[in-house]
Amino acid sequence: MKKLIFTLSLLIITVTLLTAQKKIINLPDLPGYVTLKCDFHMHTVFSDGQVWPLNRVDEAIRDGLDVIAITDHLEYTPKKDFIPSDFNAAWKICETYAIERNLILVHGTEITRKMPPGHMNALFIKDASLIAKDSVWDNYEEAIKQGAFLQWNHPGWKAQEVDGIPKLYDMHKRLIKNGWLHGIEVFNDSDFYPLAFTICEQNNIALMGNSDVHAIISERYKDPEHRPMTLVFAKERSHDSLKEAMFAGRTMVYFDNNLAAKEEYAKPFFYQCISVGKPYFQNDKTIFFEVTNKSDVPFFLINGIKDAPASINLAANSVTRIAVSKKVTSSLVYDVSNVITGEKKVLRIELKY
Amino acid sequence: MKKLIFTLSLLIITVTLLTAQKKIINLPDLPGYVTLKCDFHMHTVFSDGQVWPLNRVDEAIRDGLDVIAITDHLEYTPKKDFIPSDFNAAWKICETYAIERNLILVHGTEITRKMPPGHMNALFIKDASLIAKDSVWDNYEEAIKQGAFLQWNHPGWKAQEVDGIPKLYDMHKRLIKNGWLHGIEVFNDSDFYPLAFTICEQNNIALMGNSDVHAIISERYKDPEHRPMTLVFAKERSHDSLKEAMFAGRTMVYFDNNLAAKEEYAKPFFYQCISVGKPYFQNDKTIFFEVTNKSDVPFFLINGIKDAPASINLAANSVTRIAVSKKVTSSLVYDVSNVITGEKKVLRIELKY
Amino acid sequence: MKKLIFTLSLLIITVTLLTAQKKIINLPDLPGYVTLKCDFHMHTVFSDGQVWPLNRVDEAIRDGLDVIAITDHLEYTPKKDFIPSDFNAAWKICETYAIERNLILVHGTEITRKMPPGHMNALFIKDASLIAKDSVWDNYEEAIKQGAFLQWNHPGWKAQEVDGIPKLYDMHKRLIKNGWLHGIEVFNDSDFYPLAFTICEQNNIALMGNSDVHAIISERYKDPEHRPMTLVFAKERSHDSLKEAMFAGRTMVYFDNNLAAKEEYAKPFFYQCISVGKPYFQNDKTIFFEVTNKSDVPFFLINGIKDAPASINLAANSVTRIAVSKKVTSSLVYDVSNVITGEKKVLRIELKY
Amino acid sequence: MKKLIFTLSLLIITVTLLTAQKKIINLPDLPGYVTLKCDFHMHTVFSDGQVWPLNRVDEAIRDGLDVIAITDHLEYTPKKDFIPSDFNAAWKICETYAIERNLILVHGTEITRKMPPGHMNALFIKDASLIAKDSVWDNYEEAIKQGAFLQWNHPGWKAQEVDGIPKLYDMHKRLIKNGWLHGIEVFNDSDFYPLAFTICEQNNIALMGNSDVHAIISERYKDPEHRPMTLVFAKERSHDSLKEAMFAGRTMVYFDNNLAAKEEYAKPFFYQCISVGKPYFQNDKTIFFEVTNKSDVPFFLINGIKDAPASINLAANSVTRIAVSKKVTSSLVYDVSNVITGEKKVLRIELKY
């Protein structure tokens, strides 16, 4: 009897130990850049979140992230009867803890206003308490003074825009004119805003995607799901390189099984994920070759050319066998339905075998 | 393309909605009693826990519990630089929220001292702030004055008892003599203290088992694992009946795949879990019948009699086919290795077919 | 080192043992009837299936079924170069094996023709080899002579009906006129044929739903998914009662999270699955009560009345809390979107609290 | 209603499509060699297995294997009443099917005798029917004549050796003397034979590990478990290179979370799996660095040196943070408890940072 009990107990402990480590996210680097996996939007008990700030660091490490920003609301602190306002609390609690765990922690806060202008994250700030001012424009001015990257959060959030469609109000135009609007969330939690794509393209703004988590990451995204994240193509894995890359707009958004990015990043990224093998066999009519997808992202290829398979699913971390008629001559062209490169555009790719 | 994206998103939302409900734990009632599933030991950001108190209510509901007590430490408040001490905070935050969700919330606190006497939960109290006193005996006296049920927590915790073996110190004997020690955790988190069984038996003390969770329940106990819990056999599902049952010692501890209880509760509980069918077939040598285990607890039967199967696993929520020699006459006797009825004793049962 | 290795090995064995048993499917009986869980359509290596017949019995037991029929094709035996035709092989191999495991095995075969009339299962036959005749009508005649229940399989199978819509051809009308068409699959594998519902209703034919599995059940339906099945409401759990109930049309189809049945069975079945508790709390505006769904089927309630929740998901094996305005007076009416009672009809139910 | 139903159905189909592909097993190549993942022992309905041969190919591809041998018994054909003996059936059925799927199929058979000499697989044969002879020695002679690699299966199988310990009988010594015993299973199904390690070392025999599957791979090894396999270090991915490597003894056995190999292969393999990062941070007392384990095998490091962590778990596909006292000077030495290099030996490794 004893033996059995201890076997069972042992098991639980072992599993716990093994899973409390940083998992490897299989997403490639781009030539000349390292791909940093980032989440720039999350909350703790210091605003309307449900956990202590250190949990956000632990969750990020387990998820394999390189970078997070904790962005508690300046203006919305529903727990203030029990927890006094300290807009830099999460930063103070996590700074050393994150360094010791090799996680890049970006100092941030959320400027939380009605639409317009809605919610805006100030990232790379120095002191959130100085940003807390009555006028929203004063908020922005102080943030910019501190060197902030301003990110417009969930621009079509239905609680603020009933039709779910992002709109550029005067305040946004003024920010853009000043060069103060650096990023827009095209994805937040579970909402995708295709129109934000166009706004970003037209105004040279970085595409962002974040979790905006308030509760527990592992309960919201059950393995093997993953939280939405912003991929940043940085010159190296450091706080400064990250910042440079973000202001330069070298980002991609990864949500569910989808990628969203400007084509200049989406295209090389796709080709870094996959490799096309030489044909390993042929018979009278058919040539057989394999496509290896060594990334965590499946690719759904559609709109195949004549005589080729109409669609192909390149499952994540898998090798897909492709049998193609000999009538086709060594190259297949497809749309990748889940690699979004514009408001109404997906990536078009070629498989040469 | 759009269609695909929205299909994926929809999926996640649906799953989330469906799993945020109270699951049914398949554990039977005893004749005349309702089995309340309880966890009397847990922490929040108001001491050294990681979550906001409401999360403990949400977790409990999802897990299908009937009762919880949030028991933040009186003497250990490592977050006090950010969160001022308020020993009744969790209670104030959760009281109405729990009522609206049909969860019985027991007002509690943890009196946190070196060994002896170690840690002690005071349950069914009225005001934790009055209990916070310098002398530990004054702590107990005030708790008792408020009508508390005193539970000795993890009595062999290795941080306080290097050999892991619970010991009755003078303070404990004095509590027992006064009739003030009402429960002892024979199981806490992942530690089992078989010796506590004997102390409980000799002194008419209730067996308790709790999670003592500080972090996230769903990360610590991954589905289909469950947190440790105390089963209380109450006359009805109410706060008062619960209290009566606990002082009367009608409890059972459920941890991993094990049950621990006095035989007077373990035996009828086992027979409520299973039913033995009439033989449905026989041939020259063998009789076939089925045992249905309609509970979430598997039962590991060992030490079978001659000519019978040496061991039988009655898997949870399953029907087990038993093929037995005709030499055996319509009854099998087994030890149930995972139903513990004493420090060195397991339940012995009979299957009549 | 040794210890570690043996711990790991042990684990695998334990898990295997525990999962190889008959699981309990939580589906209620109807008053006066026992609900038999059945799959009347499957294949083995004796036609175009991939497994040995005994595997079909093992799979069924693990899945918690009461009844199966193995229905290898009479006319399609692609493995005949290696396995000589024996139309009763699966029956001979499984008969005793099933009896010893308390599984009701129905002797069956599939009469496999082009459309019309398409594929037809003959169930409750005595000798499949006698049914193998050149003329399809002779097939039917011999089957009927043996007492068969004739089931029209996948009537809108796209390989035979490009538009996916079942059509009554002359042959079918002749069968119906003779009283020889006893069941139609409204669900097969992953295809639902709503129109078959109407044909069944107009001609007093039993609704059937089956897996038509050729490969491996556990690979096709990953836990917690389940294979499609026909629920038969029989007077008792026996071969003869099953047959009586099927000819009487007392069936329901259970596929994915859906039920399809005539309303006379769907309505009492729903009310056997759920129970509505008395309100446990109310405040100024709202009454709170719980609905317990003790079945494996979630129920998706939609089209709620004014002031009531627009939709409610009664998750499987769960308790759902309902908060309703006091303006509503103790009864809620909903459509159950996943309990299908006709070609274009779902069940309408009432929750009284 | 319709919408819901079709959403659900779609889901199932999508999942099925996505998982039916060749997964990538994360195991590195050795310098100069490609690591072929192989299973040289399995059965089908042509002896005592439960599936049609093509299923073995499908299972292997899904599992990411490069090579299989189907090895039905010559002497044990319990299904012969229904399936006539054809010792080359599996080969004939699978040959083209495997080629078209880029799986290397090795022609094999199992010579199935009482102990001594027990069961022996003949691999790389040309015609199994010629090997089926009365005398076991004649079996071997014919197999060798065909160029076979002879593998002694489960040498300590308890059905044949009650104590579970492999023993070299005269027949085995004779085979060894002739140079006819080329491989021994140190692992089969769930049994590990450490003593076989010594026999292999002393007689220059390849270590082998195989599933010996009779039933369904995915039911026996539930994701993320994997079947036991032999890793072969071949000069290239081809049938001939595989054969050369096996006769040269360049193999490793991968079972559960364990590796077993001669040290000359185990050591470079380990260092191909992991990479040690430069320290990323230090404080007064502690240096922090990361170890990346990009393989599917976790490594359990034990017996750490003074002032270093006593044990470290390098979880699979994860990055492990190591905090080490500055007293230690830039190198840690450990035993890897799950990389077995001899009957009583594990690999000793060094982490330089």
Reported as a single tens digit per residue, the pLDDT across A242-263 is 999 999 999 999 999 999 999 9
Confidence tier at D322 by pLDDT (50, 70, 90): very high
Confidence tier at D330 by pLDDT (50, 70, 90): confident
Q: Do D281 and A318 touch (CB under 8 A)?
A: no
Q: What is the pLDDT of residue A223?
A: 87
Q: What is the pLDDT of residue B223?
A: 87
Percent of chain B with pLDDT over 70: 94
Q: What is the pLDDT of residue C21?
A: 87
| Tens-place pLDDT, residues C261-301 | 999 999 999 999 999 999 999 999 999 999 999 999 999 99
Q: Tell me: pLDDT of D14 over 70.
A: no
Interface of B with D (CB under 8 A): 7, 10-11
Q: What is the pLDDT of residue C20?
A: 56
How much is the CA Rg of chain D, to the nearest whole Å?
23
Question: Which is more confident, B147 or A15?
Answer: B147
Q: Of C11, C13, C17, C24, which to mutate for an interface test with B (greatest number of B Cβ within 10 Å)?
A: C24
Chain C neighbours (≥3 Cβ pairs under 8 A) are A, B, D
Interface of D with C (CB under 8 A): 1, 4-5, 8-9, 12-13, 15-16, 45-46, 49-52, 54-55, 79, 82-84, 86, 89, 93, 190, 192, 215-216, 218-220, 222, 225, 256-258, 300, 302, 335, 337-338, 340, 346
Q: Read off the pTM.
A: 0.94
Residues of chain B with pLDDT under 50: 1-19
Nearest-Cα residue of chain A relative to residue B52: A50
Q: Tell me: pLDDT of C204 over 50.
A: yes
Q: Tell me: pLDDT of C16 over 60.
A: no
* Contact (Cβ atoms closer than 8 angstroms) between residue C196 and residue C155: yes
Q: Do B51 and A52 touch (CB under 8 A)?
A: yes
Q: Tell me: pLDDT of C15 over 90.
A: no
* Contact (Cβ atoms closer than 8 angstroms) between residue B307 and residue B331: no
Confidence tier at D163 by pLDDT (50, 70, 90): very high
C-alpha distance from D90 to closest chain A C-alpha (Å): 21
Nearest-Cα residue of chain A relative to residue D286: A100
Nearest to D29 by CA among D249, D237, D201: D237
B265, two tokens: 């509760």
- CB pairs < 8 Å spanning A and B: 99
Contacts of B218 in chain A (CB under 8 A): 216, 218-219
D188, two tokens: 């089969």
- CB pairs < 8 Å spanning C and D: 99
Confidence tier at C259 by pLDDT (50, 70, 90): very high
Q: Are strands A299-302 and D286-293 parallel, antiparallel or unpaired?
A: unpaired
Averaged pLDDT, D222-247? 97
Percent of chain A with pLDDT over 90: 93
Looking at beta carbons, which pairs linking A136-140 to residues 24 or more positions away fall under 8 Å? A136/A111, A136/A171, A137/A171, A139/A74, A139/A111, A140/A111, A140/A175, A140/A180
Work out the mean pLDDT of chain C and round it to a whole number: 93
Query: What is the spatial distance between Cα D177 and Cα D197, in angstroms, rounded to a whole number?
Result: 18
Contacts of C10 in chain A (CB under 8 A): 7
ipTM here: 0.92
Q: Of A21, A321, A337, which to mutate for an interface test with D (greatest number of D Cβ within 10 Å)?
A: A21
Averaged pLDDT, A46-66? 98
Interface of A with C (CB under 8 A): 7, 10-11
Q: Under 8 Å CB-to-CB from C55, ≥6 apart: which residues?
A: C44, D50, D51, D215, D216
| Tens-place pLDDT, residues B28-46 | 999 999 999 999 999 999 9
Picking from B13, B45, B51, the nearest residue to A190 by CB comes out as: B13
Picking from B22, B294, B318, the nearest residue to C22 by CB comes out as: B318
| Tens-place pLDDT, residues C210-241 | 999 999 999 999 989 999 999 999 999 999 99
Q: Do A10 and C7 touch (CB under 8 A)?
A: yes
C70, two tokens: 């193995």
Chain A neighbours (≥3 Cβ pairs under 8 A) are B, C, D
* Contact (Cβ atoms closer than 8 angstroms) between residue A90 and residue B83: no
Residue C106: in which H helix or E strand, if any? strand C104-112
Nearest to A36 by CA among A205, A252, A220: A252
- CB pairs < 8 Å spanning A and C: 7
B208, two tokens: 């308790």
Nearest to A231 by CA among A21, A29, A22: A29
How far separated are the first and last CA of chain C, in Å rounded?
61
Q: Do A318 and D292 touch (CB under 8 A)?
A: no
Q: Convert chain D into a string of H (helix), E (strand) and C (coil).
A: CHHHHHHHHHHHHHHHHHHCCEECCCCCCCCCCEEEEEECCECCCCCCCCECHHHHHHHHHHHCCCEEEECCECCCCCCCCCCCCCCCHHHHHHHHHHHHCCCEEEEEEEEECCCCCCEEEEECCCCHHHHCCCCHHHHHHHHHHCCCEEEECCCCCCCCCCCCCCCCCHHHHHHHHHCCCCEEEEEECCEECHHHHHHHHHHCCEEEEECCECCCHHHHCCCCCCCCEEEEEECCCCHHHHHHHHHCCCEEEEECCEEECCHHHHHHHHHHHEEECCCCEECCCEEEEEEEECCCCCEEEECCCCCCCCCEEECCCEEEEEEEECCCCCEEEEEEEEEEEECCEEEEEEEEC
B241, two tokens: 């009946």
Contacts of D9 in chain C (CB under 8 A): 190, 192, 256
Confidence tier at A270 by pLDDT (50, 70, 90): very high
Query: What is the spatial distance between Cα D299 and Cα D335, in angstroms, rounded to a whole number?
Result: 10
| Tens-place pLDDT, residues C18-38 | 345 899 999 999 999 999 999
Contacts of C7 in chain A (CB under 8 A): 7, 10-11
